[in-house]
Structure 1
């Protein structure tokens, strides 16, 4: 058990910020003006800021094998529609990107299949510290889908098969969802009539989007792609939906608000890779927030390094995101979008003890983590675990 005493505690909840103590073992036990229990290890954090561990709602950490691109397990590129695969089966707990993450306060990520396929597979919310993927898994949090240039290039250009165009991407998604509807009907009939039924793993997974509110999480940059997603979601009565990247989301912010669809925005630091990123800006989170859209900020690691999530928040604040919602954009909001807010994203009694201690406001450029805890384990102490970067070189 630990007690962090004397710090400025940011709960990411309505209770807001206070000066006081946080007591936890594997979960949060007490907060506020409380005396540390006799059995607790007391850590003096006076002058520091205590926050929930940061949550990245769109990442490939653990999937893309940082520094080893030939080992990336993010796209099952044998077909444009692969709902049968799961990120959990490709998650590597020893990926260096995960160590970089928790050392810099990012304690949970939604580990994604890639955007090369129109339907990529099941995605999972994961802790960034742990021994096995199973113990690090928080829950399956959605089905990955993708619009735009990635599936066009990955399949049409490289393999000469559908989809090769935006209409082809939309048709591929519709066809898969129609097949899932038919599968659900056949399955229901077989169960009611007692007839045998041949199950299909991909259709079982995709059926969950239609019947069990497994969220459809769709990679979409341009306004036309985003509106196509909205149109298809309405056609198939899909309410559990999020738009990933939302690069041009600021141009149609009211459309997000009217549908109550959250946006997982980013990475907003680099636009040179694709023409569809030409309207990229760090103003997007602020504009979406202004009209009432729930916004989370992402890195798409390793597109941007996972440990730069706080830097992305700082740039969004510089471009208009209110400082008072900066923390929520990488804690409570992504946890709510992912459906894991009962465990992470806030500091409240009963949630997991994923806690970061910073020597300044977390998103300011000169702030660093001093301590990080995951499930109550002291996984990083800057004094204890400091590494001289020069040691990485073989002189």
Structure 2
């Protein structure tokens, strides 16, 4: 069924890629931005939303969340974010555990977040496969826009401290790195044997864990690496070079210490959560000054709430605080729109107000980075899902 055509008339458009367009219209057809301009002509069957005097932005994107895995108001025993029984679980799939009825999805929309990446937690060295989903819907299979979207890996305190308490490996940073290498080497061997068996027409016993790692080794899927400390980030880069795999950095708290290297290597960083306490050793050096330094040195930077560490509806607050700390406002907005879209590999569809892109749009009664502004309209893929008078 085709979606009803909509025209947003006369708004101030924060396009992200084309600057700010005053008194401009957006024509939406079948969930896609069909045209942008002043005084667009339309047929009588197009629904008109008068947004004169309002600001219009793309829908926000959170590149690293656990929404639907750690549910609002549920006890810890009900969480499905970490399978903390084995440090190597690449075969797990978040779409088998996301509860689309988690009320955090409503919070996401109220905060303008229309797309998220959901990843397993960081208890395991390899935690499983993530997914990119819309925050509007009730059937997870219909909300998914990319699966798998990445393979979760974790360095640092979380995996080593958890398994040390169990008297198991990894108990050190050395073991975290060694266990990851071992898993990747095993998958390489498995891939060669599988290719040989297919070439010779022989039967082959499949293995879910190693099968899940083949797209990583073939550069079809990035390793999305939880790392805060600079030394852990360097270990992640070292292993990525050894196996010639693509990576993104999730958190990157001390990325400012090696910002020149991250910029040179064009390694994307999802920075955050940045408005919590420094609750563990790895966060001792976290600061907005560090994020600003990464930005100024050319690191590809976007922001994350790491929901539920920070409630997902506060994603825009990260951009506001970044602008206050010294990142130019349009770049701060870009960090929760186009830069986040690039981080998750969806920049051709999301993250800016451009012809041909998905019509995820937000209408505000003021500057979206001003906490006194109100979000009036939320449009997801061309459908008005929230409208406040």
TM range (shorter): over 0.9
Shift of residue 272, structure 1, vs aligned partner? 3.2
SS across alignment from 1:184: helix
Residue in 2 aligned with 1:206?
Answer: 213
Residues 26-73 of structure 1: CA distance to partner in whole angstroms, max 9, x if unpaired? 121211121343212111111111011000001111221122133221
Cross-structure match for 1:381: 387
Q: Does 1:196 align with 2:200?
A: no
Question: Cα distance, 1:269 vs. partner?
Answer: 1.3
**Partner secondary structure for residue 283 of structure 1:** helix
Preserved CA contact (<8 Å) 1:271 1:280: no
Distance 2:385 2:42 in 1: 21
- Runs ≥4 residues deviating over 3 A: 14-18
Q: How many residue pairs end up in the alignment?
A: 381
Q: Which runs of 5+ in 2 are unaligned?
A: none
Quote the Cα distance in structure 2 between the aligned partners of 1:19 and 1:289. Answer: 31
1:266 shift after superposition: 0.2
8 Å Cα contact 1:84-1:122 kept in structure 2: yes
The match for 1:116 is: 123
* Counterpart-to-counterpart distance in 1, 2:230 and 2:6: 48
Q: Give, in whole Å, the separation in 1 of the partners of 2:20 and 2:207.
A: 47
Determine if contact 1:283/1:321 at 8 Å carries over to the other structure: no
The alignment status of 1:10 with 2:18, answered yes or no, reads no
The equivalences for 1:1-395 within 5 A come to 1-14=5-18, 16-25=20-29, 26-33=31-38, 34-68=40-74, 69-140=76-147, 141-157=149-165, 159-238=166-245, 240-383=246-389
Deviation at 1:16, TM superposition (A): 4.8
Q: 8 Å contact 1:209–1:216 — kept in the other structure?
A: yes
Equivalent pair of 1:104/1:368 in contact (CA under 8 Å)? no
1:108-149 superposed Cα distances (whole Å, 9 cap, x missing partner): 000111111110100011100012111111102110000011
- Deviation string 1:153-192 (CA, Å, 9 cap, x unpaired) is 22221x2211111111111111111111111111111111
SS in 2 for 1:353: coil
RMSD: 1.3
- Report Cα offsets for 1:226-255 as digits up to 9, x if no partner: 0110111011111x2111100011111011
CA deviation map 1:322-376 (0-9, x unaligned): 1121111011111111111222212222222111111122122212210001111
Shift of the 11–261 alpha-carbon distance from structure 1 to 2, 3 Å rule, reads: same
1: CA distance between counterparts of 2:335 and 2:309? 19
Secondary structure of residue in 2 paired with 1:327: helix
Post-superposition CA distance 1:11-32 (Å, at most 9, x none): 2214553430111131212111
Per mean C-alpha deviation after superposition, the further-off stretch among 215-224 and 360-369 is 360-369
Secondary structure in structure 2 of the residue aligned to 1:213: coil
In 2: Cα distance, 1:70 partner to 1:368 partner: 36
